[in-house]
Amino acid sequence: MLIVVCIKQVPDTTQVQIDPVTNTLVRDGIPFIVNPYDTHALEEALRLKDRFGCTVAAISMGPPNAEGTLKKALALGVDHAILLSDRVFGGADTLATSNVLAAAISKLHAEVDEVALVLCGKQTIDGDTAQVGPGIASRLDYRQLTLVDKIIDLDFSAKRIRVSRKLEGRHEIVEAPLPAMLTVVRELNRPRYPKVQMRLAASDAVVEVWNNKTLQLDEQKIGLKGSPTWVSKIFSPERDKGEIIGDGYADPAGTAALLIEKLMAKDMLPI
């Protein structure tokens, strides 16, 4: 049984700034991290590996430097790490991205082992679309179970999975046949910390790179050409500059009084 985890390298958004002139992300010097939701998908796959002994493959589509993300996955214990990287994959929207990822999963299914589960984070923190996971499920005709916060039951021989979905204000228990695609939320688990031996092994390991020669996809369905949507503008919302009132350290009581006065003047405190 093979579990495929889709992970993405994203800029650490707390450190991202937007260039006011070009309206693009300033990526220089911004560290990359593994998309936080994906770390929970990865952890769940590794827990299933610990429990059932299944094989785990991590795949990521991105530029060559996304290799670092896959090395982190290797350090945590995945068996295969494959980087899907090719200039023709670049500029992809969620549709084109899911085409590439689905093709890679099919290839793994054919060459490594029967795919039982595909795990994705519920969304990425840079694009925030939450579409790629469902896109993969559609392309592969897998059941899609989104926003999973608990795998209640998993039976590989009966090919069934039962999960809890975390929805607004309620939980939904859903059962589906395998293979299935799950997108996961943070509540699912606490990601593990890598052991040094594994980190050292991962840093020496070679991450397999698949390009379009490997996947043989129609260039009209991938990258910029295969993307019906594109970002026309990116900007930070304008915000009026605030003011610092009083000195909360030297005179907390006076400052609190001043704040209340200001809020009342603006009619922002219900009385």
Partner 1 sequence: MTPNQFIFIPLLIASLSVFAWGCWKRFSLISLGRPEDRFDNIGTRLGEMLLYAFGQKRVVAQPFGINHFIIFWSFLILLVANTEFILNGLFPHTIKLIKLPFELYVPLAFMIDIASLLALAAVTVAAVRRLFAPPYPEARTPEAFFILGLIATLMLASFALNASELAEFVVKSRVDPASFFASARKVMPVSGWLAGLLLPLPLGTIHVVAWWAHALALFAFMCYLPNSKHMHILTAIPNCFFKRLEKPNTQPREEFTAGNTFGVARADHYSWKDLLDSFSCTECGRCQNVCPASITGKPLNPRAVIHDIKVNLLENGTELKKGNAPQTPLIGEGGEGSISEESIWGCTTCGACMEACPVFIEQMPKIIQMRRHLVESEAKFPEELLNLFENMEGRSNPWGIAPSERTKWCSQLEVKPFDRDTTEYLFYVGCAGSFDSRNKHVSVAMAQLLDRAGVSWGILGKDEKCCGDSVRRLGNEFVFDKMARENVATFIERGVTKVITQCPHCFTTLKNDYRQFGLELEVIHHSELLRNLVQDGRLVLDKTTAETGSTVFHDSCYLGRHNDVYDAPREVITAATGSAPAEIARNRNNAFCCGAGGGRMWMEEHVGERINLTRVKEALEQKPDTICVACPYCMTMFEDGLKDVKADNVKVRDVAEVMAEALLR
Question: Which residues between 132 and 191 bind partner 1 (CB under 8 A)?
Answer: 190-191
Backbone φ and ψ for 122, nearest 5 degrees, come out as: -65, -30
Least distance between partner 1 and beta carbon 108 (Å):
27
63 part of the interface to partner 1, by CB under 8 A: no
Tell me which residue has tokens 């179970």.
145
User: Cα–Cα distance between 64 and 98 in angstroms, integer?
Assistant: 19
User: Cα–Cα distance between 142 and 135 in angstroms, integer?
Assistant: 10
Stretch that binds partner 1, among 151-159, 181-189, 195-203, 213-221 (CB under 8 A): 195-203
Q: What is the number of residues in the chain?
A: 271
Nearer to partner 1, 12 or 187 (CB): 12
Nearer to partner 1, 33 or 42 (CB): 33
12 part of the interface to partner 1, by CB under 8 A: yes
| Side chain identity, residue 169 | G
195 part of the interface to partner 1, by CB under 8 A: yes
31 part of the interface to partner 1, by CB under 8 A: yes
Find out whether 66 and 9 touch, Cβ atoms under 8 Å. Answer: yes
Burial label for 72, CB within 10 Å (0-12, 13-18, 19+), is buried
Least distance between partner 1 and beta carbon 239 (Å):
17
Which among 138, 186, 180 has a CA at the least distance from the CA of 162?
Answer: 180
Least distance between partner 1 and beta carbon 259 (Å):
17
| Side chain identity, residue 85 | S
> Of 22, 197, 232, 236, which one interacts with partner 1 (CB under 8 A)?
197
Least distance between partner 1 and beta carbon 210 (Å):
26
The angle subtended at Cα 214 by Cα 208 and Cα 219, nearest 5°, is 125
240 part of the interface to partner 1, by CB under 8 A: no
Least distance between partner 1 and beta carbon 2 (Å):
25
| Side chain identity, residue 187 | E
Helix or strand (DSSP H, E) at 196: helix 196-204
> Of 53, 249, 253, 271, which one interacts with partner 1 (CB under 8 A)?
249
Contact set with partner 1 (CB under 8 A): 12, 14-15, 17, 31, 33, 190-197, 199-201, 204, 249
